[in-house]
Structure 1
Amino acid sequence: MHTEILEINQDQCVVCQVETRLSFKPLVEHLQERLKTEHPIKAQFYKFLLEKLSELQATDYIVKVADLERYQEMLVLIYTILTPLVASEKEFFWAMSTPVPDKIFFSTDAFYNFYTNNAEVAHVEGFEETDHIEKKQLQFIYQLILKRFYNFTSVFKDEKVLTYTDPVSHLNKYFSIHADTSFINIFVDGELPVLDFEKIGEQMHEGRELEILADILPLHHFRLEGFTILTLTDITMTRAIDNLRSVLVEHADERAAYPLVIQSLKTLAGNAEIEFGIMPFLTLNDKLVFDSDDCKDSVLMDAASKAGIADEVMYALVEEYRKNPRPIIYTKITDEKAVDNVMLRIIKQAGICAYTLIPIYYNKKLAGAMELHSTKELIIDEVLLSKLQRALPLLAQLFQYSIDRFNSAIDSILKDKFTALQPSVQWKFNEVALNYLRGLKNSDRLPVIDTVVFENMYPLFGAIDIRNSTIERNIALQEDLSQLLNTLCDALVAVKKHVDMNLIDKLIYNVKEWKVRISDYTNSNDEVMLRAFLDNEVDPLLKHIRSGHPVTAAVINEYFNSVREESGIAYQKRRELEASMQLINTSVSHYLEKAQAMLQKSYPCYFSKFRTDGVEYDIYIGQSIAPEMPFNEVYLKNLRLWQIRSMVEIARLTAGLSKNMIKPLHTTHMIFIHSNPINISFRNDERRFDVEGAYNIRYEVVKKRIDKVLVKGTAERLTQPGKIALVYFNQNEAGEYLEYIQYLQEQGYLTGAVEQLDLEELQGVSGLKALRTTVNYVDAELPESID
């Protein structure tokens, strides 16, 4: 036991806000009252303690903290009476302090050692470091006053939690702090005011509870006499489980929650040498998926990846475990054990000495596995497993969240990229599916699934094309092949200096022929033939020379590095071009995805986009897509106005991307106007919507052929950077759009005169006309016209 004084507040005079006196009179009064009813034997013990207390050289049993060191025997007797006999002072966190916990004057070994070792690193939850001492004590005082005089205890949380990170193990520890104020008398100067706790409660929601109480109950009117008993209870296990539960509730992204989960498992285990891995079993087509981010916290998967283990080996290994899931415990992995066990060999190569795998079930179905591992020999006993057992249901829920999120992501991609089942048309597919299910129940034969058809739909088509993309590809190919041949020629000349072979001279001659061949025009066929020449003649010879003549290794390796598709200089121009095209297409697709979500709020429509060298889209709107919502042509007009304005915004967007492109590219923008409604149906074989009927098919034909149409009587392409082209058949169709163009000119989206053009005939299509207007780029640089 310890009588050394522990200063809780150091030099901060918090308790001076209220008068306090350390007194044993409340204890004396309590013992005297108990003497009236206690068993004689126990009463004798109380009398003995009262005699000891009477030896205090103090009026009204009021003493100074510094004088208590002389009364250690009395303090031990008080401890004996107030604590269970089975409590060991080596393990029981118990102490006595001044009325407001400011100075601790008597404590068990366990409490004393804990406080002296951890006081500087521990803190009470819910209090900032800068104000927690004052705030803690004020809350303590007012909680005591309200409980004693008003029988009101809901203002402040009664239990305080002390938390700290062990400097050795780096694990979190949590202790509940309980203050027993049974032996404190409170004296009031004057009358106590009547409190309206409902009104006070409303104001306390603003976080001003201490300020409000200080106005109503000034502390200088109160005096506290007695002492407080402090006990600490280790609640680390309970808090670790609570933290796990909070992670599940508060984190929408399970992947982001994994580090917090692992930290909670470490706290639960209470052993700093134990590391954890978690591995949900994600499957696609009943085959495990290992390359997901959710598997990155598995030590087995990480070790296999670093060791270069083939995916097939891991598939077989984990698949075998899925068929027979069970706890696998290896306390010490030796070389002998790892010889015939692939999993242990992988683990041991990662420097792990002990490894345990525990299956995790969700609703009796295997959801994943938890790993325990250590670089030291590790005993996995029933005590450790029982600690972790409480976490398994929460871990199972987390795994299931990851599995559901993975499946949902796959399903979302399928709907968005392949099946085209957007929410606006999903209801129709649901009806067809229900009819099919009913047919299965009511017929002996397999029913034919209905065709999904939407009638009288107004179509809108738009195309954003990367100008001269084919030409740009050929230019990039030519430049890359020229660079490749120059690098190869330099390498062969350098090798010739060390290796005298006539075959090298022949290859140099072939390379020079190839340089002439690609100097004027290059196409993909040239690339294929050159690739065959390199694969069949050049590469085998250079590899042979490198192995026999190490002096040539540097220059030959330089050549092989140059022809790496992902990083070599011989692919640089094509990479730059593809990066620029990808930037444009991704940006435009993202714009359209956001736009179509906004359009659906006005009136449901079917929106489908697809990539060519740019991005094209179809929009269909009409009554049949939303039978419960009355359709009006105002929605169609709103969509047509949006279509022109969105083309301006896309033109500005792609022009602004130029500064971020190594290879600057321009885009063209075209709209096809078709005023008559058409029917569309879902083609189950191709998983997409298509038009129906001979007249409607003509609409599709025009769409596919107008991308390179010329202005009649010229060699000029209709579509030009900086312009928006609107193609139509009927002059009446143009009238509505001319109004939109005039409006957008006044709004600053478009500028200049509107061109009204006749177009050259296409195969099977004649009578096409077009409007062409100029984009107002504002601060963006206007691209030059390209023919």
Structure 2
Amino acid sequence: MDINDNIESPFVLKVSFNKLLNQYESLIRADNDFIAANARRVLEIAEKNPILRDGFSNYDLFKTYEKEIEGILQDSFSPILTKNEIKTASIPFHNFIFNSSERFRSILKTAGDDFELQMKNLPEDQTYIIACTIILDFYYGYNLNFKRPFFYEIPDAKGITRYYKILYNADFTEIYPKKNTPKITQEDYDELLDNFENIDLWKEKFPPNSYEFKGFVISNIFDVTDDQSISNIKSSLIGEDKRKDESFMKSFYDIFRSLFGLKNIEVGFSIYNHQENTFERVYGVGMNSFLLNDLESKYCHDALCEWSYNRLLNEHKYFSVSDVDRSFKLSECKAPHVDVLHEQGYKSAIFAPIANDDGLMGILEIVSKKPKVLNSINANKLADVMPFIVSAVERSKNEEENLIEAVIQKECTSIHSSVHWRFVQEARNYIKTEMSTGEKPTFKKIAFDNVYPLFGQIDVKGSSSARNLATQKDIALQLSLVEKILEQTIEEKNLPIFEQIKYQVLEFSSGLKDNFKVDSEHGITTFLKEEVKPILELIGETQPSVKADVEDYFSKIDTDLNVIYFYRKHYDDTVKLINTNMSSLLDEKQVEAQQMYPHFFERFKTDGVEHNMYIGESITKQDSFNMIYLYNLRLWQLQVMCEMENEYYQNQNEYPIALDVASMILVFNQPLSIRFRMDEKRFDVDGTYNARYEVVKKRVDKAYIKGTEERITQKGKLTIVYSQKEDEIEYTRYIKFLQSKKVLNTDLEYLELEDLQGVTGLKALRASILYHESNDDKNFYTYDDLMETIKS
């Protein structure tokens, strides 16, 4: 079996000790007799076994010449140091080791029989290209400075992974082109500089098996577990915000200059804004972006050509421009990143994506005013530092997002996701202004123009009457208990004060039935707390016969309200449960609606649930709005209102008391403007004309049908209030469609509303809702479904 089997390489490998033996030939003439004698010993082994000088590639021969190889390598693998040094002799790009120190063998033995030695930082798919770069360096003299640290990760006796750094000694290797091998020209070299990953190009320049590699490498291995551990810790801790420190960027430049071994390089950053698809400047002292030059931000497609855009944003891979002037001429102004480098006088550059599992976060930009010093080959050095940079940017990004959210929360409170981008945009400007000027900026007005409003509510019908009734029952119960205790007390001990309190109790009880007013509750509650309570406490202490009744009375009193809170609690719990269940259903359905087209949504809990929606171009910030999306949302709203009623009445038996609900939708057919009111921390309509919409919202559900005493909203019916004839036509189509789907009944009414204060000419459509025993088979219908039904 041959060591060249099953591998593809520009090399034909042969293990040879020729260069080592040549050194021993020079030692024969040494003044030191011992050194000369030892040299003759080694050369004698070679003379008896010429294959060791000529070279071989058959694995079996390593066993055949095992003793001879040990003899030749005796000085390199000193028996005195074998238990201390970690050293191997091996074949390049193979895990095959044919000689090693005792210490190395001990480390592998400890790792276990199932441990497979693998070199880290050496990607298998790049082995061919790395071999080519070695040829460029050893044979052609192009110093590419490609040296990267390689490591072994080997577990110790405790199972803890230890890190071993490998340093190669390639003094005993020879590389020669075989006959008819194409010679590498300067033009070839220049082309290769920007195409490290183009394996086909490298194979074209360095065909497989076109060079002969003779020799072997000695690996000196060092335990760097402590250094690596520190590095790992650093990767988790790095990234504190030092952008205000003037010396930060200077020291950062020095780190990269040391890394690349180049004095005249500069480092810049640009942040990727996913929502805007732009690159943005990092704000901070000394921070530059060579991709943006003087601009604060730039659309990605304007900053990069199609290839480089895909490379950075989609593939998350670096690329280089090793010769800016040459690329500028070839691109003919079609590569924006090359143009901007040329404009600033930079001659070579590397652009590397700063990305994690969530995607691109920014771009690392390394530039030089010397051509070819930055290229796709030495760009590989970034592989070892990018994790630290990613960690730093992640930390910085998280801190910035937290800062942005803190500003939004401080200035605006919770913001709906559809408009969140606008607040982020303004918060970012807020922070930039504060950092650049040192002054306290003002959070600018947030407004959205030309948006269409939708309003709906499902309200407890007769909520005031229902709560008053519950209050009457509670007070009547409490007064009756007091009356009972006083009657028992007076039978045993008739004091005038008891008679007087009893008289007042009877008066209040009579007034409850005949003339209960809003202020009656307060008056009776005050009487029970301030006058009745002390009397009952005294009776409980002085008259044992009624003590049990007094204790029973106080056990029924709510400790916080100091009154009986039984029927009112049932009412309040019912309303709370209606609000919770209806809000949950509305929130769940809103997820579906947002998928149709993004829009602003908010809801409020009162004696029921109200919701506002606004849809339009300015909210989505995309050139994509179409009236079809508004029609879909209106049809969706109708269906959700019906489903909410179904949900309530199907489960009404689960509520503490039986209350009725009524649903209403308000149609406003003209677009309006909304503005976030900083004082109220909420959106409201903007402008005097638009204020009419808010007035109607607040008053319409209490309006009467013109010429009657009947409220426009009724239990079991869906009411749609509008003012324009085109609204009537549109919603009549929706209603007839939902009637065909058995969602609404066929009793459609066309109604006129009484004039409200400042608002006239309102009309309404009203139809009964069909209730289903189960909504398992219910679907939401879209505007397209409506159109199909009309066509058929």
The TM-score normalised by the length of structure 2 is 0.45
Q: Which entry has the higher C-alpha Rg, 1 or 2? A: 2
The TM-score normalised by the length of structure 1 is 0.46
